[in-house]
Structure 1
Amino acid sequence: MAQGDATPTAGDGSGDAPAQREIRRPTKLRRRNAEPKARSLKPLRMVAEALSNYPTQMALAAIALLITAAATLAIPAGFKMIIDRGFSAGGDAADIGRWFRYLLMIVVVLAAGTAMRFYYVSWLGERVVADIRRRVHENLLRLAPAFYEENSPKEISSRMTSDTALIEQVVGTTVSVALRNTLMAIGGTAYLFFLAPQLTLGLLLVIPAIIIPITIFGKRLRAISRTSQDRVADVGAMVTEVLSSMKIVQAFNQEGRETTRFADKVEQTFDVAKRRILIRAAMTSIIIMLVFGSITALMWRGAIGVAEGTISGGTIAAFVLTGGLVAGAFGALTEVYGDLLRGAGAASRLSELLEEQPTIAIPSRPETLPTPARGSLSFRNVTFRYPTRPDTAALQDFTLEIEAGETVAIVGPSGAGKSTIFQLAERFYDPQAGTVRLDGVPLTSVDPAAIRSRMALVPQDGVLFSANARDNLRYGNWQASDAEIWEAAKAANAEDFLRALPEGLDTFLGESGTRLSGGQQQRMAIARAILRDAPILLLDEATSALDAQSERLVQDALERLMIGRTTLVIAHRLATVRAADRIIVMEDGRIVEQGSHNTLTKAGGLYAELAALQFTSEAA
């Protein structure tokens, strides 16, 4: 029977020449080795916005920073008092002890302020990272599958871990160090002016000589820091890939090759890190030489002043200590700048994920699907090309009407477009031409969540999560009670092995359900679909990878599940679809035949050829 037998309803407009819609490709994330767009700290605005949600903690952290900076700068002043009013003035032991007690009080305040600063700054770092991870993950769940065809989930995972760790370091350590050392530099410089204005003016002449190398080295450091972080992410992605495919690696004796590949990747990471370290080392060395060299010269001049009697011993002692603190603050700021640049690179990579918009979105005014649900599906003059394969049509002028309660089997060679029908039915993609309708309503006019709530999918591989049996089963209906779960398990022929588990429904099933056999995983997937209780059932080669005994159990469960539902079945094994109300035969994205098993077998077309090959092979 030709495709044209299924004629669209007159007056719906779908029978006319369909308007071509542009193939909307998802955003391709910036290549790891590409030059980052931002050349400043602007990407850290995202972090600043996240911090602004916690004004109380920020205020307390700022107070702690002020206390610790002031207490640190008060220590040189305390030594000045001890020397000038204690030792130099010929004070007695009681007087000297009084000034030392003041110094101890400063130390206690410094310790308490440091603890307070560490707590609130670290709290902010962890809190901001948690918020950013949550926001990025929430946005990732909104994106259509096309995005994950263009972009590796392993790459995205590395951004969610290594890059957010950098953000945590920036907020929890780097920003605190930067602010503290800025306060120290400003406050210390002011105190130096108070102690010895002429010596301090000489010190300030060095500041422009410090800023120049920071500017020169900073641009190069940011670029190499981004590349270094990318290489670290590459290592993480490779580890994930190899460990998740360990059975294949060992089955083909490729441990040696994978070791070599990993070693090469690690060496690439090390080579980039060496360049980054070299730049930072050169920058730090030059700045320290300028800062401490100038301070040494100024100390020399101050020592001469002490010898001449123009400066007191306590003043020069305080000047030396404060000058060291100021120099250390400037030196720390040079290193902090490099860390901030690395954090900016990480923030820019996370911003890409956070700002990505879904290609399949909720309409501004979504239509409501009719209630109660009927379960009819309609494909009218549909043409679809995957965004990653725009030159090849997965479906070409495809028309298929599926009535409520009908069981339709879809067969054909690989690449015929069978799975694409499911992808469009669940609105993971939109066709470039034609319409797909659910109960008479175009899918593009409906909230995708409403569409998917009326469908239950049993995939080819019973995909399970790293959780216990209960959570895997109620993934189809999170509100299901234990009684409903056991009822679904019984209907799916899964009750016996679930009750035999060590902790019943509370048993952890391992990574991706690896503690269960393939047949058991598939029956779990069927029980999950039963709990979904949706009017439309999508079976994607649900028994193709099972042995004969498991297939019989699964097929028995599927037959119970299909009762009273509209069912679409994709199958390579034709023996599983003989009882379908209608069999659709596809080739190159088109329907070439449709009818019952007996009709198609007698027609002598593609289905008859496939059936002859399979049934002859099975008989043999």
Structure 2
Amino acid sequence: MARFKENDLPKAKLNKDTLNKSLLIFRYAGNHKWKFYVGLLFLLMTGATALAFPKLMGMLVDCVNAKDLAKAKNIALLLMGILFLQSFFSFFRLSLFVNFTENTLANIRLALYSNLIKLPMSFFSQKRVGELNSRISSDISQIQDTLTSTIAEFLRQFILIIGGVIFLATISPKLTLMMLSIVPVVAVAAVIFGRFIRKYSKKVQDQVAESQVIVEETLQGISNVKAFANEWYEIARYEGKISEVVKQAIKGGKYRGYFASFIIFCLFGAIVAVVWYGVNLCISGEIKGVGELISFVLYSTFIGASFGGIAELYAQIQKAVGATERVFELLDETPEKINTSKIQSKEKIKGNVAFHNVAFSYPSRKEIQVLKDVSFTAGYGQKIAIVGPSGAGKSTISSLLLRFYDIEKGTILIDDKDIYEYDLEHLRGNMSIVPQDVILFGGSIRENIAYGKPDATDEEITMAAKQANALDFITGFPEKFDTLVGERGIKLSGGQRQRIAIARALLKNPSILILDEATSSLDSESEKLVQEALEILMEGRTSIIIAHRLSTIRNADTILVLDKGVISEKGTHKELLKMENGIYKNLSNLQFSDF
């Protein structure tokens, strides 16, 4: 799969609106703004000293005709002084811009991540993780490069062009007009041609990448290749692709040859033409001496190089403005109100849950009503199981209970208070969920269990692991609780991950527990251990159990059968089995041979 590159970032048109949006970056500079302005001052001084260099070089050459060794020595010392000042100014300009940029971007990164992590689930259900990662990595990197060097270099080139033209006009207006009609045009043409060459080279690289995909796929599926005796087919496929690479590369080589010829003949030819015309003016007396001609050639070179570079720098600034717009789009998203509730009390929730005529559709699929007029109650300490076919809305109930989404109609009460009267931190702090696919963070087992209570002691973590039937396998590892679980917990088995999640939930000590198909993907042995741990976890808590395996919910106080967004059946395991042609009875008959 092709990786997203910073060079592929889209550009934004530079206008008043986009520039005003980009200037919002300075909001995040804090007390570091002065570094940017002082850096600009050093930049102006760098440009001024650069413009003095060709003039002094011309004066130094004129000392040959005057045979004035003392003057030549003074000018040479002055030139060395100019170079020292330019180095001094450049150092501070770069240091200040880097300091300003890194501090500003650190604030933007923190603000962006803080806002991103507080956004509601409705936002994440409509965005891809890769796109959000790109905003934080590629877009921020583009802004970083632009603030650190691109803006400074763009302004420097601009100063050299304007200052250079002014100095040239003082030497010879005629020669200046001639130079401006040739050198900048050729320089810009070289940039456009060079950009075309780069795009063509990228095509060749893409073709090579495609050929590598064939190699990768073939080697990964080598058993299939050999089983179907398709070695010759794969060789032919690869040969076809590398033939295309060769054709494109040869064509690209020709274009690079044209480019080299263009540079040698046109760009250097333009310089020769300017020097030739300058020599004529020098001979006719319109230019005072060889020194002025040397200065003119150097200024012309500066201007030509600046014209060539400024186009690319402008394109980079356009990308940075586009990146800034995309970053501020995320910063402008409205986060969840995590702790601004009407209820200020932090008393522990008891755990009485009631759904009254709840209706809900996902924001991304508003035309499909997932829940329709759902009502049920779950008293403190009760086990309420929810079963039904896939897509019936079982997991949606847990999402609404955690307030991942807002309901469209009806009310959800917890301890006889509307769920929206609690602040999110307090509400979710009294709930725990053990999902089917447990995703652990890439740290140690200790850190993952302590995620339920970050200030937990070692004794509390050990006790939670023991109650979750996890202590035996944890102590079996050489590093014990300091064992790294790997990315997303990949180093642990499914059953081990589930028991870590249960230990985490136990440590949190929630009032309301949500088990979302917590044992459906486990083998029999792991399921037994996990089920034992879940029984301990459910003691003295209100438990909402979403299940496919009916064997795990036989002892539930109430079983709700959800079908097409409505509760079609309700009762205990025995009561539901007595319903003729009931959905639960049919599901039970499929899973249990003894009924």
TM above 0.5, yes or no, is yes
CA offsets 1:155-193 (integer angstroms, 9 cap, x no match): 222333223322222222321210111121222223223
2:325 alignment partner, one of 322, 325, 348: 348
Following superposition, the deviation at residue 80 of structure 1 comes to 2.2
Amino acid at match of 2:97: V
Query: Which position in structure 2 is the counterpart of 1:499?
Result: 475
The question of whether the paired residues in 2 share the 8 Å contact of 1:583 and 1:596 is answered with yes
The question of whether the paired residues in 2 share the 8 Å contact of 1:213 and 1:287 is answered with no
The question of whether the paired residues in 2 share the 8 Å contact of 1:209 and 1:290 is answered with no
Amino acid at match of 1:75: F
Following superposition, the deviation at residue 38 of structure 1 comes to 5.1
1:40 alignment partner, one of 14, 29, 32: 14
**3-state SS, counterpart of residue 401 of structure 1:** strand
Query: Which of the pair has the greater relative contact order for Cα pairs under 8 Å at 6+ separation?
Result: 1
Q: What is the correspondence of 1:370-449 to structure 2 with a 5 Å cutoff?
A: 371-449=347-425
Runs of 5+ consecutive residues of structure 2 not aligned to the other structure: 1-8, 226-230, 241-256
Query: Which position in structure 2 is the counterpart of 1:325?
Result: 302
Amino acid at match of 1:471: E
Q: Structure 1 residue 472 and structure 2 residue 424: aligned?
A: no
Following superposition, the deviation at residue 497 of structure 1 comes to 2.2
Following superposition, the deviation at residue 608 of structure 1 comes to 2.2
Q: What is the correspondence of 1:15-34 to structure 2 with a 5 Å cutoff?
A: none
The question of whether the paired residues in 2 share the 8 Å contact of 1:376 and 1:566 is answered with yes
**3-state SS, counterpart of residue 504 of structure 2:** helix
Following superposition, the deviation at residue 575 of structure 1 comes to 1.4
Q: Structure 1 residue 87 and structure 2 residue 50: aligned?
A: no
Q: TM-score, normalised by structure 2?
A: 0.80
Q: What is the correspondence of 1:63-74 to structure 2 with a 5 Å cutoff?
A: 63-74=41-52
Q: Distance in 2 between matches of 1:336 and 1:89?
A: 43
Alignment CA distance shift 1:289-1:366 (3 Å): farther
CA offsets 1:471-495 (integer angstroms, 9 cap, x no match): 2112222222222212211111112
Amino acid at match of 1:83: V
Alignment CA distance shift 1:134-1:46 (3 Å): farther
Alignment CA distance shift 1:174-1:38 (3 Å): closer
Worse-superposed segment, 393-402 or 102-111: 102-111
Following superposition, the deviation at residue 363 of structure 1 comes to 9.3
Q: Distance in 1 between matches of 2:268 and 2:333?
A: 48
Following superposition, the deviation at residue 573 of structure 1 comes to 1.2
Alignment CA distance shift 1:50-1:289 (3 Å): farther
Amino acid at match of 2:593: T
Amino acid at match of 2:301: G
2:461 alignment partner, one of 485, 490, 508: 485
CA offsets 1:410-430 (integer angstroms, 9 cap, x no match): 112222211111011011111
Following superposition, the deviation at residue 523 of structure 1 comes to 0.5
Q: Distance in 2 between matches of 1:253 and 1:58?
A: 61
2:24 alignment partner, one of 18, 30, 49: 49
CA offsets 1:438-493 (integer angstroms, 9 cap, x no match): 22222334433332112111111222011222221122222222222122111111
CA offsets 1:272-314 (integer angstroms, 9 cap, x no match): xxxxxxxxx999x999999988766554333223223441221
Q: Distance in 2 between matches of 1:161 and 1:549?
A: 43
Q: Give the length in aligned residue pairs.
A: 561
1:546 alignment partner, one of 522, 525, 531: 522
Q: Distance in 1 between matches of 2:155 and 2:483?
A: 50
Worse-superposed segment, 290-299 or 422-431: 290-299
Q: What is the correspondence of 1:586-601 to structure 2 with a 5 Å cutoff?
A: 586-601=562-577
Q: Distance in 1 between matches of 2:470 and 2:223?
A: 34
Q: Structure 1 residue 453 and structure 2 residue 426: aligned?
A: no
**3-state SS, counterpart of residue 454 of structure 2:** coil
Alignment CA distance shift 1:526-1:80 (3 Å): same
Alignment CA distance shift 1:97-1:205 (3 Å): same
Q: What is the correspondence of 1:2-401 to structure 2 with a 5 Å cutoff?
A: 39-40=13-14, 42-43=17-18, 45-51=20-26, 53=29, 54-84=32-62, 86-92=63-69, 95-200=71-176, 203=179, 297-310=273-286, 311-358=288-335, 361-362=336-337, 366-368=341-343, 371-401=347-377
Q: Distance in 2 between matches of 1:396 and 1:144?
A: 22
Q: What is the correspondence of 1:504-515 to structure 2 with a 5 Å cutoff?
A: 504-515=480-491
Query: Which position in structure 1 is the counterpart of 2:6?
Result: none
Worse-superposed segment, 438-447 or 286-295: 286-295
Runs of 5+ consecutive residues of structure 1 not aligned to the other structure: 1-34, 265-280
Worse-superposed segment, 588-597 or 297-306: 297-306
Q: Distance in 1 between matches of 2:222 and 2:101?
A: 44
Following superposition, the deviation at residue 559 of structure 1 comes to 1.3
Q: Distance in 2 between matches of 1:347 and 1:106?
A: 37
Amino acid at match of 2:108: I
> How large is the RMSD of aligned CA atoms in angstroms?
4.7
Amino acid at match of 1:79: M
**3-state SS, counterpart of residue 593 of structure 2:** helix
Following superposition, the deviation at residue 562 of structure 1 comes to 1.2
The question of whether the paired residues in 2 share the 8 Å contact of 1:128 and 1:168 is answered with no
Percent sequence identity is 37
Q: Distance in 2 between matches of 1:476 and 1:410?
A: 25
Alignment CA distance shift 1:348-1:59 (3 Å): closer
Amino acid at match of 2:448: N
Query: Which position in structure 1 is the counterpart of 2:251?
Result: none
Q: Distance in 2 between matches of 1:191 and 1:37?
A: 35
